[in-house]
């Protein structure tokens, strides 16, 4: 199996990403989870990550607490989407395992420096602060990273936090800039793609009908999160963003996109935090990122259900 570190700010959709990875041990080995401030402050994303691992029956996977704020900007959170806990709508088991010792940034650095180069993939599901800080602190990690797959950004659909910026990039655009200019193999799953990963009430019903605690609590959190979709889009369908990252690692053929140059707008008062995608290569800048735009929604949700069904 491919070794991954999940860097995350759970978040209901982050929780689904973690659970999808836990349900896929033949494909993915989660060597650790690092938490970051994002959807809610750090103390809560850290606890949430621990509780999701507990729910998935894998308290043995260590959680390392990462950065409490973005590199430059003040923290902006999203309780309005995820609820005050970040994981409203469910009742998760308390952690039985202690928090990993050491900082999340150091866990990323130490793991990459200790492993064979090209064997660890980093999945970022929140603001990219931890990975960027790791690259700044120890640049030697950059060529050792197999690939970075991130949920964030959006260009064709616009933004979900400002008219131009998606939440994860908006919260820490400087961190995104560090990663996008590092020269690492990069795949981005923007809202242009995740807005097509629509969870339906029927799927939610099937999840709950699994009757397992993962199925029941997963359905609870998904239902809470979907209520926000009803307010926003006026439909009964809502996208689960972050599990698309894991879905892509599991079955890349379900996704399509294009390798192009992407730059982060760091300065504009109107479009700061925007991922500027040069889809038509008009700048002639060398491509630095594979930008996913399409996915097979039915196959993706079938895969999720199959994998979640394996968990306790």
Q: By CB under 6 A, name the binding residues for ligand BDR.
A: 11, 13-14, 39, 78, 81, 125-126, 151, 160, 166-168, 191, 241-242
Query: By C-alpha distance, which of 169, 126, 122 is closest to 142?
Result: 122
**Of 6-14, 46-54, 157-165, 169-177, which segment contacts Ca ion by CB under 5 A?**
6-14
CB of 237 to Ca ion, least distance (A): 19
Query: By C-alpha distance, which of 265, 102, 113, 90 is closest to 177?
Result: 265
Give whichever of 13 and 278 is closer to ligand BDR, judged by the CB atom. Answer: 13
Active site residue 103: no
Give whichever of 81 and 308 is closer to ligand BDR, judged by the CB atom. Answer: 81
- β-partners of residue 147 are 121
Q: What is the per-residue DSSP string for 104-147?
A: HHHHHHHHHHHSPTT-EEEEE-S-SHHHHHHHHH-GGGGGGEEE
Question: What is the number of residues in the chain?
Answer: 312
Judged by beta carbon distances under 5 to 8 A according to partner kind, the member of Ca ion, ligand BDR, none in contact with residue 160 is ligand BDR
- Single out the catalytic residue among 103, 241, 259, 261: 241
- Helix and strand totals (H; E) in the chain: 12, 11
Tokens 């950059």: give the residue: 142
Query: By C-alpha distance, which of 203, 273, 192, 195 is closest to 229?
Result: 195
Tokens 């926000």: give the residue: 228
Q: Does 11 bind Ca ion (CB under 5 A)?
A: yes
Q: Does 14 bind Ca ion (CB under 5 A)?
A: yes
Tokens encoding 185: 């193999």
Within 185-244, the residues that bind Ca ion by CB under 5 A are 242
The answer to whether residues 83 and 224 touch, using CB atoms and an 8 Å cutoff, is yes
Give whichever of 51 and 81 is closer to ligand BDR, judged by the CB atom. Answer: 81
Tokens 């507990």: give the residue: 54
**Of 14-22, 103-111, 179-187, 271-279, which segment contacts Ca ion by CB under 5 A?**
14-22
Tokens encoding 24: 């896929």
Site string for Ca ion, 96-125 (x = CB under 5 A): -----------------------------x
* DSSP designation for 281: -
Judged by beta carbon distances under 5 to 8 A according to partner kind, the member of ligand BDR, Ca ion, none in contact with residue 7 is none
Tokens 């996704």: give the residue: 255
Judged by beta carbon distances under 5 to 8 A according to partner kind, the member of Ca ion, ligand BDR, none in contact with residue 78 is ligand BDR
Give whichever of 85 and 138 is closer to Ca ion, judged by the CB atom. Answer: 85
Give whichever of 14 and 278 is closer to ligand BDR, judged by the CB atom. Answer: 14
CB of 229 to ligand BDR, least distance (A): 12
According to DSSP, the β-strands at 198-199 and 2-8 are unpaired
CB of 116 to ligand BDR, least distance (A): 30
Give whichever of 46 and 168 is closer to ligand BDR, judged by the CB atom. Answer: 168
The residues that are catalytic are 241
Binding footprint of Ca ion on the chain (CB under 5 A)? 9, 11, 14, 125-126, 242
């Amino acid at each position: 199996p491919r070794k991954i570190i999940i860097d995350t700010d759970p978040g209901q959709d982050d929780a689904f990403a973690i659970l999808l990875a836990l349900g896929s041990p033949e494909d993915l080995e989660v060597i650790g989870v690092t938490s970051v401030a994002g959807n809610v402050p750090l103390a809560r994303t850290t606890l949430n990550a621990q509780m999701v691992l507990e729910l998935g029956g894998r308290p043995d996977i260590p959680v390392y607490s990462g950065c409490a704020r973005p590199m430059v900007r003040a923290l902006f959170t999203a309780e309005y989407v995820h609820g005050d806990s970040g994981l409203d709508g469910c009742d998760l088991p308390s952690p039985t395992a202690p928090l990993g010792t050491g900082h999340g940034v150091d866990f990323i650095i130490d793991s990459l420096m200790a492993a064979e180069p090209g064997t660890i993939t980093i999945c970022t599901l929140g603001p990219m602060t931890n990975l960027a800080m790791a690259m700044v602190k120890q640049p030697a990690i950059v060529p050792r990273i197999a690939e970075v797959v991130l949920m964030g950004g959006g260009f064709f659909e616009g933004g979900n936090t400002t008219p131009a910026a998606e939440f994860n990039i908006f919260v820490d655009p400087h961190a995104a800039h560090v990663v996008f200019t590092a020269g690492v193999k990069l795949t981005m799953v923007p809202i242009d793609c995740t807005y097509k990963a629509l969870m339906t009430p029927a799927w939610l019903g099937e999840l709950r009908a699994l009757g397992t605690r993962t199925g029941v609590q997963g359905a609870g959190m998904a239902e809470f999160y979907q209520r926000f979709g009803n307010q926003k889009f006026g439909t009964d369908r809502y996208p689960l963003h972050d599990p698309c990252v894991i879905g892509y690692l599991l079955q890349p053929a379900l996704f399509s996109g294009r390798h192009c140059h992407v730059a982060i707008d760091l300065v504009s008062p109107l479009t700061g935090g925007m991922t500027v995608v040069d889809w038509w290569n008009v700048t002639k800048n060398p491509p630095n990122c594979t930008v996913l735009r399409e996915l097979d929604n039915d196959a993706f949700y079938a895969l999720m259900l199959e994998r979640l069904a394996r968990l306790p």
